[in-house]
Structure 1
Amino acid sequence: MVETVAAKKDWWSAVSAYLTPRMLVILAMGFASGLPLLLTLSTLSYWLSKLGVDKTTIGLFALVGTPYTFKFLWSPIMDQVPLPVLTRLLGRRRSWLLVTQVLLAVAIFAMGQVDPRVDPWTTALIAVIVAFLSASQDIVIDAYRIEFLPKDEQGHGAAATQIGYRFGLLLAGAGAVGLSDFYSWSVVFGVLSAAMVASAVLTLLIPEPKGAMAHGKRDYAQWVKESVIAPFADFTSRTGWVVILLFVLFYKFGDALGGTMANPFYVEMGYTGLEIASISKVWGVWMTIVGAVIGGIAVARWGVFRALLIGGILQAVTNFAFAYVALRGAEYGLCAREALAADPNAVVSNLCAAYRHDLPALAIAITADNIAGGAAGAALIAYLSGLCNVAFTATQYALLTSFMAQGRTWLSSGSGWLADHTDWFTFWSLTAFLAVPGLLLLLWIMRLYPSGAVIQRNSST
């Protein structure tokens, strides 16, 4: 009985740690961080698909996420330079955060006022501005969290950030796609803009971290030398560093191509916004979390290399599940032709709906793909963490993840062209085979480091 009471007390202590005012602030900041991300990724591609924009153009829109890969270049400016008047009134962190959030609200609202069919360049420009401001907001939020929370609460703070981040993704993903079935896109973007305004109001109410004003102003050139050049020079001194970078770039290449075209695919298969929101955005997010847990267990049990190999194979194979969904869509076309041949007045949408709207097949494909992708992603994060020299951990990790993001932006921008020049079954099959180069590079790295060590660290650093 005593043990049961103690266990309940420990459980409540673990839960209550996330209900303190400090943690609720961090959770709200995580929400603000996650909200604009999907607007320049999957939600944007869904919007363009519904408007009838061609797939090649939709693929090129992946390039608007480029600012996320280079945010380390302007982070010292936001870290050091005060804003006139605002910094004196609000403090350095809150002043930068307020400005970026207000500008984000304006940019998100503006995105809903343009028609990509009429003015695609303006749409792209606004999307780049949203991505730039979103990446800038992330810089400030990360700094705020680290300075605001005591050292023994940093772990809880990281978890609270991820929870809030997922809620932001759900609103910008499932919420936006679901609302678009009932309201115009200008209204949808207006709702998202209002959510960002609410985040800006919260910024006015929260305290400035005490540590934010304690940092001295550093020389920018010296920062570049210490934070960019030295870590990169250290990394390039390692055995096989070119192969490692190529692996980081190509490990999720097939997944990146498929992810960019996922929403156009769903739209062409005839799924409604509500169906896509519930299966892909809500259910899919939870399956990714399940996959990440499985990936973490796999790394602990089997080691990072074996977890990477198994995860990489699974994330490639699961793309064939989408190829099956594409076959069901092709069967719809065959069914429609046969129905019209038999009866020119036949209602094709009713007679052949089972092929076009195979929800169980889509649910199975998304479940398998997200679990595999989450597991592979967790193993990749563990690998990237192990690559970093302890003397340059934060910077090398930021540089590696920025390099990895190139696959999600520049490399995946050709996915629309590929989808336009193939049928959907061929497209999804090719994305599975495009995972092979990354797996071959992984096998090469495993031969370079047969002992299982992720990377050899120079003892002098």
Structure 2
Amino acid sequence: MAQSAEVSGKARTKLALRDIVEDPRIVLMLALGFSSGLPLLLVLGTFSTRLAYSDVDIKAIGLFSYLALPYTLKFLWAPLIDRFDVPVLSARIGRRRSWMIATQVAVALALSLMATANPASSLVLLGLGAFLVAICAATQDVVIDGWRIDAAGTDLQGVMAATSNLGYRLALMCAGAGALFIADWAGWSVAYFSMAGLMGVGMIAALLAPAFDREHAEALDAASAQPAGAPAKAWSFRAAVLEPLTELHTRLGPGLWAILILVAFYRMPDFISGVMASPLYRQIGFTLTEIGAVSKLYGIWVGIAGAFVGGWAMTRFGLFPTLVAGAFLGAASNLSFSWLSYGGPEVWRLTAAISIDNFCGSFAGMALIAYMSSLTAPGFAATQYALFSSLYALPGKLVAGTSGFMVASYGYPVFFAFTAAVGIPVLILCFFVGRAGERSAARAAAETAASGDTETVSGNHPAGLTLASSDRPGAPAPETRMRPQT
């Protein structure tokens, strides 16, 4: 019997490895992940660098950060993607693939608009292009997430998510370091036109991708069937929004409001300070090539290391200590930029500041992901996590628009010290509600044990979600995605 089980286990392993190597969905997911990640920095970090090196006023650079809000607010129109077709195109290639193609073409066109707009004479047109890129790219993320979930069963979701994450990070390197190298060599227009051309990678993958959305659309329509006499819109709203919120309030009680405040402010120091990093590099005197190599290339790998250390700390010390450590490190790391602002354009100083900031920021991001994941309940995980992830990004991005005014009034050293001080009340709040996720998981475990369902509890355990969660705003579910924080 033991020998038979061993043979069966080997057979399953061999099948899994063969599926990973030979399954065309894996290669397609790599290309789609690349297409999803490419536009992000072109309206955030790289865009801020372009504005700074075009001598745009520091206050305007801060205000331009609002153009990326569609990434945070995409949950508002995400249900429409599952309900409506792209005229003509959906009838030919399916709903998912038609939305992919439509959004990818729109992103490429909007990037081309940004390439032709000169910040000195057409700043409004450049901002319009960035806003269009953000809307279309955020919608593309929704569609690609839906295709990935439909295209693979639960057993392959981990591989698909990891492959998507790899493609996403490769795209960040292209849109970060790659775009800066090209801009330093041939100008910003060539850089943005090059990035628009790279969107063709996702278009080819979308055309080759199998259409898995037909059965999903039928199931969605069936699932939304409301009881007799209930208004359709009211029933859909109650099932999609009110029930997950009611469950959260019932399970967490009045402490839910303190938890929401913690989630909203936990990463705020990073969101406020991130917009002003590129203008600081410009003032100090770093070249685009130096920024690209250190911040956009080397820094990404340091961030990956920080995320892995955060995951290890979660399994070694538990959720609460890691959450507290993340709150301290994520805020205190901003002091490295205060230190950087006092010196000259020495690459070793830039490397040190980027290392501290990216490592600590990724560590804190991983801690918050696990905390938010631990607060969700089986059956409502996707909606509840989407609400948490939107909340944690929104306040920081709203405040980030005023960062240019603060720098103009007080200077870079004081500004970055202020962003670090924002973490003090967050750290205090961690000691009051930081264990809420552990208590929630324990309660869920007790309830599930009473019902005899142990599999669901392990699936909702915070440590189990850490390595497969997403730290990108608006991710569809905690167990399906892992993306870098910008």
Query: After TM superposition, is the score higher than 0.5?
Result: yes
What's the offset of the Cα at 1:59?
A: 0.8
CA distance in 2, matches of 1:416, 1:22: 44
Matched residue, 1:223: 236
CA distance in 2, matches of 1:267, 1:231: 46
One-letter code aligned to 1:379: A
Matched residue, 1:288: 303
1:117 to 1:226, Cα distance in 2 relative to 1, 3 A: farther
Partner of residue 411 from structure 2, selected from 423, 431, 435: 423
Determine if contact 2:104/2:199 at 8 Å carries over to the other structure: yes
1:451 to 1:61, Cα distance in 2 relative to 1, 3 A: closer
One-letter code aligned to 1:61: F
What's the offset of the Cα at 1:207?
A: 1.9
What's the offset of the Cα at 1:453?
A: 4.8
What's the offset of the Cα at 1:452?
A: 5.4
Determine if contact 1:108/1:190 at 8 Å carries over to the other structure: yes
What's the offset of the Cα at 1:52?
A: 0.6
What's the offset of the Cα at 1:224?
A: 2.4
Partner of residue 339 from structure 2, selected from 324, 327, 341: 324
1:13 to 1:201, Cα distance in 2 relative to 1, 3 A: closer
Matched residue, 2:51: 48
Superposed CA deviations along residues 177-214 of structure 1, whole A, max 9, x for unmatched, are 12110112111110111111332233222221264454
Determine if contact 2:63/2:404 at 8 Å carries over to the other structure: yes
One-letter code aligned to 2:144: I
CA distance in 1, matches of 2:60, 2:180: 20
Matched residue, 1:352: none
Partner of residue 301 from structure 1, selected from 316, 319, 342: 316
Aligned to 1:82, the other structure's residue is in SS state coil
Superposed CA deviations along residues 321-368 of structure 1, whole A, max 9, x for unmatched, are 22221111xxxxxxxxxxxxxxxxxxxxxxxxxxx2211111111111
CA distance in 2, matches of 1:216, 1:58: 42
CA distance in 2, matches of 1:271, 1:167: 24
Partner of residue 404 from structure 1, selected from 389, 392, 407: 392
CA distance in 1, matches of 2:162, 2:436: 33
1:207 to 1:442, Cα distance in 2 relative to 1, 3 A: same
Matched residue, 1:346: none
> What pairs with 1:329-348 in structure 2 (closer than 5 Å)?
none
One-letter code aligned to 2:266: Y
Determine if contact 1:305/1:452 at 8 Å carries over to the other structure: no
Matched residue, 1:101: 104
2:114 corresponds to 1:111: yes
What's the offset of the Cα at 1:137?
A: 0.4
What's the offset of the Cα at 1:172?
A: 1.0
Partner of residue 171 from structure 1, selected from 171, 174, 183: 174
CA distance in 1, matches of 2:345, 2:373: 42
1:216 to 1:406, Cα distance in 2 relative to 1, 3 A: closer
Aligned to 2:342, the other structure's residue is in SS state helix
Aligned to 1:410, the other structure's residue is in SS state helix
Determine if contact 2:264/2:396 at 8 Å carries over to the other structure: no
What's the offset of the Cα at 1:384?
A: 0.5
Superposed CA deviations along residues 70-112 of structure 1, whole A, max 9, x for unmatched, are 2122112110212222111101111111111111111111111
Partner of residue 73 from structure 1, selected from 76, 85, 102: 76
Partner of residue 248 from structure 2, selected from 235, 239, 242: 235
CA distance in 1, matches of 2:248, 2:437: 19
Matched residue, 1:331: none
One-letter code aligned to 2:209: I
Determine if contact 2:111/2:195 at 8 Å carries over to the other structure: yes
What's the offset of the Cα at 1:16?
A: 7.7
Normalised TM-score (structure 1)? 0.86
Superposed CA deviations along residues 6-60 of structure 1, whole A, max 9, x for unmatched, are 99x9799759825632100001000000011111111111111011111111111
Across the aligned residues of Structure 1 and Structure 2, the Cα RMSD in angstroms comes to: 2.6
CA distance in 1, matches of 2:441, 2:405: 37
Determine if contact 1:309/1:442 at 8 Å carries over to the other structure: yes
One-letter code aligned to 2:359: I
CA distance in 1, matches of 2:402, 2:429: 22
Partner of residue 34 from structure 1, selected from 34, 37, 43: 37
Aligned to 2:356, the other structure's residue is in SS state helix
1:20 to 1:116, Cα distance in 2 relative to 1, 3 A: same
Partner of residue 263 from structure 2, selected from 239, 244, 248: 248
1:443 to 1:110, Cα distance in 2 relative to 1, 3 A: same
Determine if contact 1:386/1:455 at 8 Å carries over to the other structure: no
Determine if contact 1:108/1:192 at 8 Å carries over to the other structure: yes
2:385 corresponds to 1:381: no
One-letter code aligned to 1:223: S
Matched residue, 1:126: 129
* Most deviating of 315-324 and 28-37: 315-324
Aligned to 2:39, the other structure's residue is in SS state coil
1:199 to 1:12, Cα distance in 2 relative to 1, 3 A: same
Matched residue, 2:458: none
Aligned to 1:115, the other structure's residue is in SS state coil
* Structure 1 runs not aligned, ≥5 long: 1-5, 329-355
Matched residue, 2:146: 143
Matched residue, 1:361: 349
What's the offset of the Cα at 1:285?
A: 0.6
Normalised TM-score (structure 2)? 0.82
Matched residue, 1:189: 192
Matched residue, 1:23: 26
One-letter code aligned to 2:298: W
Partner of residue 273 from structure 1, selected from 288, 305, 308: 288
What's the offset of the Cα at 1:255?
A: 1.4
* Structure 2 runs not aligned, ≥5 long: 1-8, 225-231, 449-486
One-letter code aligned to 1:327: Y
Determine if contact 2:43/2:68 at 8 Å carries over to the other structure: yes
Partner of residue 329 from structure 2, selected from 304, 308, 314: 314
CA distance in 1, matches of 2:191, 2:74: 28
1:220 to 1:450, Cα distance in 2 relative to 1, 3 A: closer
What's the offset of the Cα at 1:245?
A: 1.0
One-letter code aligned to 1:154: Q
